[in-house]
Chain A
Amino acid sequence: MSTPRDIWAKLRNPGYRRAFAAEQCKRLIPFQVRALRKRRGLSQEELARLSGLTQGVVSRAEDPDNGNLTFNTAIRIANGFDVVFVGKFISFSEFEKWYSELSEDSVDAPSFEKEDSERKQLADLIGSIVDIRPRPGQPIAPLPQGAAIQTMQTARTPIGEAGTALVGSR
């Protein structure tokens, strides 16, 4: 990385550590808001409408040099994105890991609606898969022509006794 995120050495200084912990909250939330808005292709006005805020508030929320962002605004913006804003106390190790991987891509978070839709699609897909495992008494599908078959033994398989182990060789 051109700007190494190896901040651990610096964090050994208690003054720097406290300052960094405070500043990251003030500066990385605006970074995330901006990055997430851009990824969603939203304008500040659109995000403001979804969040029940004014465009000015969204603009200030994206500007780390512009006062302090309140929790209330962060929560409303999270609602606008249809994601969760988590105020979580974490260790510096955990923070370091998250910080080292931070990028405009890494802050992407899909909305609940999108995730829900994907889950439904996945459930439908799983439900539509035909169980092709052989059942007791069910004939095993023939191997392609030319394949030599060697019967090894009849094994008790988890799905029944008909699972004759076959080895195909060329």
Chain B
Amino acid sequence: MRQGLYAILHYAITWSKMPSWEFLDYITERHENPIQDWYGTLAPQKQAAFDLLVAMLSETEDWDEPKKSKRKYKELTRAHAGLCELLLKVNRTNLRPLGVLRREQRQFIFLGGCEKHGFWTIPLGAFSRALRLKEQFEQGKGGTHEHT
């Protein structure tokens, strides 16, 4: 009886602390973690800015600012339809963590990231790679785990 009560209490406390959004890392069949691999190449300032962006978005109920230009994400169209990029600017450098936005589950699954300089990205072909990973993910290949 008491254990059941504790379980309910624990669930209630956990639920009340649940973030608004969940961020997950996609893990490929080869056990690669594309977002962490990219994160590891960033300078500390960019890493910190990225971590803070994820922390803030995870606690932001409504991502949809009335002005589209103020939103911190963008759902891509045309060649990269289905992908979503987070928008982050650090010292005039545009960082673009890439992934899949699942609104209904309130999840964002990271598939990689890049720096965007006009039409160029560092690393090159980051969007195409993310798109390939998205297909793999949708085919049920690989898995996900909590973003850290």
Contact = CB atoms under 8 A, between A and B. Distances in A.
A49 interface: no
A1 B52 contact: no
A116 interface: no
Contact of B44 (A4, A19, A28, A65): A19
A23 B58 contact: no
A6 interface: yes
Interface stretch (B18-26, B76-84, B134-142): B18-26
A147 B30 CA distance: 77
Query: Contact residue range for chain B?
Result: 20 to 34
Interface in A122-149: none
Contact of B48 (A2, A16, A31): A16
B124 interface: no
Nearest to B52: A27
Query: Contact residue range for chain A?
Result: 20 to 34
Nearest to B146: A2
A24 B45 CA distance: 11
A10 B60 CA distance: 23
Contact of B51 (A18, A20, A63, A103): A20
Contacts of A103: 19, 59
Given A19-B48, A27-B49, A3 B89 contact: no
Dominant secondary structure at the B interface: mixed
A64 B90 CA distance: 10
Contacts of B51: 7, 10, 20
Contacts of A20: 44, 48, 51-52
A3 B52 contact: no
Contacts of B147: 2-3
Contact of A65 (B47, B48, B89): B89
A5 interface: yes
Contacts of A3: 19, 23, 54-55, 58, 147-148
B117 interface: no
17 contacts: A1-B19, A2-B19, A2-B21, A2-B24, A2-B147, A3-B54, A3-B55, A4-B148, A10-B51, A13-B44, A20-B48, A20-B51, A22-B45, A22-B48, A23-B45, A65-B87, A104-B61
The 7 closest A-B pairs by CB, nearest first: A2-B22, A65-B89, A20-B48, A15-B44, A19-B45, A19-B44, A16-B44
Given A2-B21, A63-B70, 4 more contacts: A2-B146, A3-B54, A19-B49, A65-B87
